[in-house]
Amino acid sequence: MDLYKSKNYQALKINYTNDLYGYALEKGGCIFLTGSCPTPTLKVVYEKLLNSFVTDNKFCSYNTGLTGIKKEIRRYLNQHSQLDVDVDKHILITLGATTFLQQLYLYLLDENSDCLMITPTFQDYYNQVRFTRASISEVAMEERAPNWPLDIEKVRKSIRNNTRLIMLCNPNNPTGKVYSREELTELGRIAKQNNILLVADEAYNYLIYEGQFTSVLDIPEIRSNVVAVRTFSKEFSMCGWRVGYAYLPEEIQKELFHLQLSFNTVAPSISQKAAEISLQSEEIKAEAKKEVLRTKEKRNFITNCIDEIGHGLSYIMPKACPYLFVKYTKDIRSYDLCKDMISKANVIVSPGIGNGESGEHHFCVTFADCMEVITEGMGRLKYYFSNHY
Ligand SMILES: Cc1ncc(COP(=O)(O)O)c(C=O)c1O
């Protein structure tokens, strides 16, 4: 069968979490403290969507995106980033964040280029980059409180002749780090000096527990070299609707727009309309804000549980995102540890190795699910550490 596999496909490596996910599903009876979007879309989104059919029944778009959503995004960026954006020149409406990044990598990378990742980071980037056959370099953040500082000099020294982009997850999945304005400014300067792009995945820009979020778009002096992607999957629990948007420098937006035309990867019109409604509606935004408070309570619950477990487990308090990145001291690979948890305690968490080399000897607990599931899952983790670790 290898006959059929392209070199691009052969460059992929195991997706550790998905692999264990399959194992847990097969075993059955597991609690999943992985994944990130279990909350259903608010009923009011559907209601408003249905009502909108009455007044506007011709919202069909091709790849340019619907006027309504573009207007709302423009308003949002004006309000949050003091950015008066020409949406037709800088914005793409995308099929979620994932598809956009995949296309951006295909545009920027090939077997002669390198992608610089700041790690630990979201594991899906890895196979997407590998598929282009580019190499991956990693710069690890420093694992210390508060907020995982980044050694900018290390980043500077890791830029090679063939580096095409610096990939950033801000706020960071899985550590909950929120990059400071200074760090982003420095990274943007490095990108400018080397004529490369600073790409920021800002999927969790709204889920901040402490401090303030700064977007790469908030810093005018680096905008010429930044790409920012956002999604409606998280803030509005619209994971299955597959809609997001990206800001890009004008030239690149134009070229990626042409890629979108060939690949037909604009979000479905109905999803765009639902996203427009979500950005517009004070009621929906207020609900999303309440969810942030609820998630913060879950974070506090989870960290208390880890404190109680002891056994040398440690973490840096996440300032954002529904993830806790836990370090352990035992000499066992994170993949093996997580598999053992499934097998002996019927609970699945993500092995840190999926988040980059610096993620080894960690596991990631997701606390996006409801309290009942989280409480049961943490109970099983406690059981595992008391009886099998
Ligand atoms: C950091 C980050 N970016 C992107 C995504 C996926 O976003 P989308 O559903 O828009 O593809 C996820 C999902 O977990 C994520 O954690």
The residue nearest atom 7 of ligand 1, judged by CA position, is 97
Which of 231, 253, 281 is the last residue before a domain boundary?
281
Residues 35 and 53 in one domain: no
* pLDDT number for residue 1: 67
The pLDDT of residue 121 is above 80: yes
Residues 227 and 127 in one domain: yes
Same domain? For 150 and 273 the reply is yes
334, 343 in Cβ contact below 8 A?
A: no
Distance from Cα 323 to the centre of ligand 1, integer Å? 13
pLDDT of residue 39: 79
Q: What is the pLDDT of residue 64?
A: 76
Q: Residue whose CA is closest, atom 14 of ligand 1?
A: 36
Q: CA 83, CA 219: separation in Å to the nearest integer?
A: 10
- Torsion, CA 350, CA 173, CA 159, CA 81, rounded to 10: 170
Number of domains in the chain: 2
Measured in Å, residue 98 CA sits from the centre of ligand 1 at 6
38 pLDDT above the threshold of 70:
no
Query: Tell me, what DSSP letter sits at residue 111?
Result: T
From ligand 1's centre to the CA of 2, what distance in Å?
A: 30
Mean pLDDT, the chain, whole residue set? 94
Q: Is 239 in the pocket of ligand 1 (CB under 6 A)?
A: yes
CA of 55 to the centre of ligand 1 (A): 32
Q: How far apart are CA 168 and CA 201, in angstroms?
A: 6
Q: Do 204 and 349 reside in the same domain of the chain?
A: no
Range 54-63, long-range pairs (CB < 8 A, 24+ positions): 59/269, 59/270, 59/272, 59/273, 60/269, 61/266, 61/269, 61/272, 62/266, 63/257, 63/260, 63/261, 63/264, 63/266
Give the SS3 label for residue 287: helix
For residue 233 and ligand 1, the question of a CB distance below 6 A is answered with yes
Same domain, 103 and 200: yes
Q: Cα(157) to centroid of ligand 1, in Å?
A: 29
> Do 348 and 232 belong together in one domain?
no
Share of the chain above pLDDT 70, in %: 97
Looking at the fold, whether 347 and 271 belong to one and the same domain comes out as no
For 220-269, give the DSSP string: GGGGGGEEEEEESTTTT--GGG--EEEE--HHHHHHHHHHHHHHT-SPPH
Ligand 1 center to 34 CA (angstroms): 13
Domain hosting 146: range is: 43-281
The answer to whether 142 and 164 are in contact (CB under 8 A) is no
- pLDDT per residue over 151-164, tens digit each? 999 999 999 999 99
Per-residue pLDDT at 101 exceeds 70:
yes
Residues 130 and 209 in one domain: yes
Contacts of 108 (CB under 8 A, 6+ apart): 164, 165, 197
- Same domain membership, residue 137 and residue 10: no
Average pLDDT of span 197-206: 97
Q: What is the pLDDT of residue 147?
A: 94
Q: The CATH number of the domain where 11 resides is what?
A: 3.90.1150.10
**Mean pLDDT value of segment 247-267:** 92
154 and 54 in one domain?
yes
At 114 the pLDDT is 98
C-alpha torsion 229→262→239→17, nearest 10 = -80
pLDDT of residue 56: 66
15 and 69 co-located in one domain: no
**Percent of the chain residues topping a pLDDT of 90:** 88
CATH number, domain of 257, equals: 3.40.640.10
pLDDT at 3: 80
Region 196-207: mean pLDDT is: 97
Q: Are residues 214 and 198 in the same domain?
A: yes
Q: Is the CB of 36 under 6 A from ligand 1?
A: yes
Beta bridge partners of 135: 114
- The encoded tokens of residue 171 equal 């706020």
Of the residues 281, 297, 317, which one is the last residue of a structural domain? 281
Domain final residue, candidates 281, 314, 345 = 281
pLDDT of residue 279: 95
User: Is the C-beta atom of 302 inside 6 A of ligand 1?
Assistant: no
Provide mean pLDDT across the span 350-369. Answer: 97
Interatomic CA distance for residues 50 and 330, integer angstroms: 54
Query: 182 falls in which pLDDT band (50, 70, 90)?
Result: very high
Q: Residue 124: pLDDT above 80?
A: yes
Listed in sequence order, the residues at least 6 apart from 216 whose beta carbon sits closer than 8 Å to its beta carbon are 168, 170, 184, 188, 198, 200, 202, 222, 223, 226, 228
CA 210 from chain centre, in angstroms, equals: 19
Which residue, judged by its Cα, is nearest atom 15 of ligand 1? 203
